[in-house]
Amino acid sequence: MAELGERRGMGVGGGPLVVIVLSHRNPGQVARLVDRIRTGVDTVAVIHHDPTGEPLTMRPSSNVALIPDARPCQWGRLSLVEAQWRSLRWVAANIPEFSWALLVSGQDYPIRPITTIEKELAASPYDAYLRHFAVTPDPAADTDPWQAVTRRRYLRKRRLPGTHRSVPLPFERRHPYRDGVGLYVGDMWFNLSAETVHGMLADPLADRLLRYLRYAPIPDETFICSLALNARPARSVANDSRRFIRWGADASHPDLITAAHLDELRADDAFFARKIDVSAHPEVPDLLDQVAADRRSPS
């Protein structure tokens, strides 16, 4: 903590940018990601590493922190949401002067210089960047097929305890999305201003959502979005995760980034690309470093 404390008061836009990394495998790839995050003027990498995965040998420093007592994270279950939530609480308690908090996975990688991300967020008119959709009671208002999928998922399904499986229900669960509280869905990869984070941490809606989502499938695709979009007073939220992600037809996971994506990456304004795998495509981090270098803004 003392080393992190030495950085306080140096922040761009009021305090350091914090990038939370959720990781569980490939410690060498995670280390390279963290090295890139550390190239910011005042950016701190905060790592939540699944203790059931390959062990990390990384040590804390003035701009690297490890979440203590990290918990196992299971896809599609509340443990993934709890890891996000515990990480945000840790950041708020231990780096209280932070300016923004971003969430990435250990398989993400920046495609812009961290210094330009710092500058953009310091000058941003928004309180958050989150790709999201409102899921209203009226299907006629839908603009994307995903809204119908998630309406059934979060209102008419219940996850079986101890499994990834969920069962459809012939009725709506008794849910918290009433009395002015809306259901929102979107990517779990957030970009949140400090004011937004502190407001969410103090919001009693968080506990209600956590209790409800314990028995919902894939809760990570609604928890942060629903908290941020239901904030009072309302936050200014850009409908964009600032991530470069490509999906194949009917795929349950994003495509791996390869050299074939380079032209799209150069034209995109995303902060990070998702996802990379150095065991399958070891050349990709070098290629993405070059994409970022080519986009470096003049000093």
Residue 220: the pLDDT is 96
- DSSP helix/strand/coil, 205: helix
Instruction: Decide if pLDDT at 200 tops 60.
Output: yes
Whether pLDDT at 11 is above 60: no
pLDDT tens sequence across 180-197: 999 999 999 999 999 999
pLDDT digits (tens, 9 = 90+) for 88-140: 999 999 999 999 999 999 999 999 999 999 999 999 999 999 999 999 999 99
Q: What is the pTM of this model?
A: 0.93
Question: Which tens digits make up the pLDDT trace of 256-273?
Answer: 999 999 999 999 999 999
Of 281, 228, 234, whose CA–CA distance to 258 is shortest? Answer: 281
- pLDDT tens for 127-169 read 999 999 999 999 999 999 999 999 999 999 999 887 878 999 9
- Residue-by-residue DSSP string for 168-190: E-SS----S--TTPPEEEE-S--
| 4 pLDDT tier (thresholds 50, 70, 90) | low
Q: Both tokens of residue 180?
A: 């002015």
Residue 8: per-residue pLDDT: 41
- Contact predicate 181/195, CB 8 Å: no
Q: Which residues contact 54 (CB under 8 A, 6 or more apart)?
A: 24, 25, 26, 27
